[in-house]
Amino acid sequence: MTTTSPEAGFGARLKAAHERFGPACVGIDPHRGLVEGWGLPYSYEGVERFALTCVEAFGGRVASVKPQSAFFEVFGSRGVALLERVTKELREAGTLVVLDVKRGDIGTTMTAYGEAFLGKDAPEPADAITLSPYLGYESLRPALDLARDTGRGVFVLALTSNPEGAGVQHASTPRGSVAGDIVAAATRDNAEAAGRGEWGHVGFVMGATIGSALDDLGLRDALAASNAPVLAPGFGAQGGTVETIKEVFGASVERVIPTTSRDVLKAGPDGSSLIEAVERTRESVARLA
């Protein structure tokens, strides 16, 4: 397959990938427990084998893959080079790469983060990255605009499932809640794509197990109107199911990207077993359509 091209907007490419492969996103999380669970040493060499086995099993079989940058950065420059190789090979296989880096800063620093992962001169840019908006949504503006201009995307942390998240994300503002302000701001950024009938380039990270949070904050209709793709970690091992995702996201479910890592990765190190686990996940989440 040819490398996924950023010429079309990210939302349009993501929607097309979902129509072809279904909505599942699989993580590549080579942390110590998983690597050693495969019978590999927790070393650069072990992580390299782990990651490249995942690339071979996942590439061209799912719409998107989400490598967790931190687990590569642990190994310094070699780990970063491996992450670039993972990104390159997945994209060459026709799979979108959502790089989980959760960057968030201000001014020239935010600009540099954007250029590092999304810029046209980046060593190996991803199709999308995760961002943290808790220095203020507008602090992300350099990366938001760069993603739009390069045909790439971002997923902004909005309603996460960790217990500590609610203290910030549910907090009241003059307009409603912190999460609601993020949804409203992203909706404005996605308006141009919405006018073309496409998904927006600004998506949200919202946990698959956030329960009634959208209703509690009065955000169900706002999410439906946002035109934003929703990265929903927590599917599988963390308790998210097709039924809970439908209940949590309602009318927005067609834009939800259920994300799983452990449920698939525990099938390794055998490549054929990993492929079988991917296929089971694809079949399971196909019921969201």
Distance CA 255, CA 258 (A): 10
Query: SS in 3 state form for 122-167?
Result: CCCCCCEEEECCCCCHHHHHHHHHHHHHHCCEEEEEEECCCHHHHH
Active site residue 246: no
Q: Is the dihedral of CA 31, 33, 34, 35 positive or negative?
A: positive
pLDDT tens-place string over residues 155-172: 999 999 999 999 999 999
pLDDT at residue 289, as a whole number: 65
pLDDT at residue 238, as a whole number: 67
Domains and CATH numbers, the chain: 10-288 (3.20.20.70)
- Mean of the per-residue pLDDT values of the chain: 94
pTM of the model: 0.95
Give rounded-to-5 percent helix, strand, coil for the chain: 50, 15, 30
User: What would the mean pLDDT of 108-115 be, rounded to a whole number?
Assistant: 98
User: What would the mean pLDDT of 72-84 be, rounded to a whole number?
Assistant: 98
The proportion of the chain whose per-residue pLDDT surpasses 90, expressed as a percent, equals 92
Where does the pLDDT of residue 288 fall: very low under 50, low under 70, confident under 90, or very high at 90 and above? confident
pLDDT at residue 145, as a whole number: 98
Burial, 276: exposed, middle or buried (Cβ in 10 Å; 0-12, 13-18, 19+)?
middle
The closest of 62, 66, 90, 56 to 282, measured between CA atoms, is: 62
> Out of 102, 120, 246, 266, which one is annotated catalytic?
102
Query: How big is the CA angle at 27 (ends 25 and 29), to the nearest 5 degrees?
Result: 175
Lowest mean pLDDT among 44-58, 235-249, 273-287: 235-249
pLDDT tens-place string over residues 194-251: 999 999 999 999 999 999 999 999 999 999 999 999 999 988 766 778 899 999 999 9
pLDDT tens-place string over residues 118-145: 999 999 999 999 999 999 999 999 999 9
Beta bridge partners of 96: 64
Lowest mean pLDDT among 39-48, 82-91, 259-268: 259-268
C-alpha distances out from residue 259 to 22, 24, 178, 233, 267, Å: 12, 6, 24, 5, 16
Distance CA 188, CA 182 (A): 10
pLDDT at residue 2, as a whole number: 43
Distance CA 191, CA 227 (A): 8
The answer to whether the beta carbons of residues 187 and 227 sit under 8 Å apart is: yes
pLDDT tens-place string over residues 4-29: 555 689 999 999 999 999 999 999 99
Distance CA 223, CA 231 (A): 13
Report whether pLDDT(1) > 60: no
